[in-house]
Amino acid sequence: MIVSGDALTVSARCALVSVPPALALEIAFDPPLPEDRKALYRNAIGGWETKTLAVYDAPFWRGDGFSGQTAEPGSAAEVTLDAGPASGSPGVIASFTFGPVAQRLESLDPGVRRKAVLDALAARLGPRAANPSEFIETSWWKEEWSRGCSMAHFTLGTLTRYGHLLREPFGRVHWAGTETATISHGAIDGAVRSGQRAAAEILDRV
């Protein structure tokens, strides 16, 4: 088989596709994907999710006895996690919002949105959380190569009719990605497991 891109052409016995399902529709296949597989990918919709990283010189919350893991549905920081290194420098709090909350926050002025997030962090982790050295935002559904996060959401009836195609090879094309995982579906752990599974399929084949 031949796989071609803008700057590279590769000849291989098999290929592994691990893009989000909706992006598979933007790959030109010859022969083309059958209609049932197109329907599966067409109805795989990335979630509205934002991720914000608040960076501090040190993870002060650890010294205060906090893990950094918090939750407040509907707030400007619905879920938070300690995303900093174990070494302790820098300190990083990752904050997430989902669905309508993410869309509502996206419509706000960046300064208003920043204050809302930091106010939420300060209410849970203390006043030092209000003054990060860096503040980094990502709206995942606007990202060209993800189109949403943390995984694709399938419209009603899609998995019942077409779900078996998620892991089923298409000729010599094999499929990976967190949506194909049966353990840790939607997480990076699931994505890694899916890559191991797909690689084993190819090795068994060749």
Q: What is the pLDDT of residues 97-116, one digit of tens each?
A: 999 999 999 999 999 999 99
What letters, b where the CB count within 10 A reaches 16 and e where it falls short, cover 18-32? bbbbbbbbeeeeeee
Write down all domains in the chain, each with its CATH number in brackets.
2-45+152-205 (3.50.50.60), 49-142 (3.90.660.10)
At residue 128, what are phi and psi to the nearest 5 degrees? -65, -20
Instruction: Tell me if residue 55 falls in helix, strand or coil.
Output: strand
> What global pTM score does this model have?
0.80
Cβ(193)–Cβ(184) below 8 Å: yes
The residue with tokens 């893990």 is 67
| Neighbour-count burial of 110, counting CB atoms closer than 10 A to its CB (0-12 exposed, 13-18 middle, 19+ buried) | exposed
Q: 159-206: per-residue pLDDT in tens?
A: 999 999 999 999 999 999 999 999 999 889 999 999 999 999 999 988
- Helices 110-125 and 99-106: crossing angle in degrees, nearest 10, is 130
pLDDT tens for 54-98 read: 999 999 999 999 999 999 999 999 999 999 999 889 999 999 999
Residue 135 is encoded by which pair of tokens?
Answer: 């503040």
Q: Average of pLDDT values for 121-138?
A: 96
Confidence band of 145 (pLDDT split at 50, 70, 90): confident
Answer whether 139's CB lies under 8 Å from 149's CB.
no
Q: Are 54 and 132 in contact (CB under 8 A)?
A: yes
Give the closest residue to 53 by CA, choosing from 145, 106, 118, 107: 118
Which band of pLDDT confidence, cut at 50, 70 and 90, is reported for residue 143? confident
Quick one: three-class SS letters along 53-75? EEEECCCHHHHCCCCCCEECCCC
- Cβ atoms within 10 Å, residue 57: 12
Lowest mean pLDDT among 17-26, 138-147, 182-191: 138-147
Are residues 195 and 36 in contact, defined by beta-carbon separation less than 8 angstroms? no
What's CA 108's distance to the chain center, in Å?
23
Residue 206: per-residue pLDDT: 80
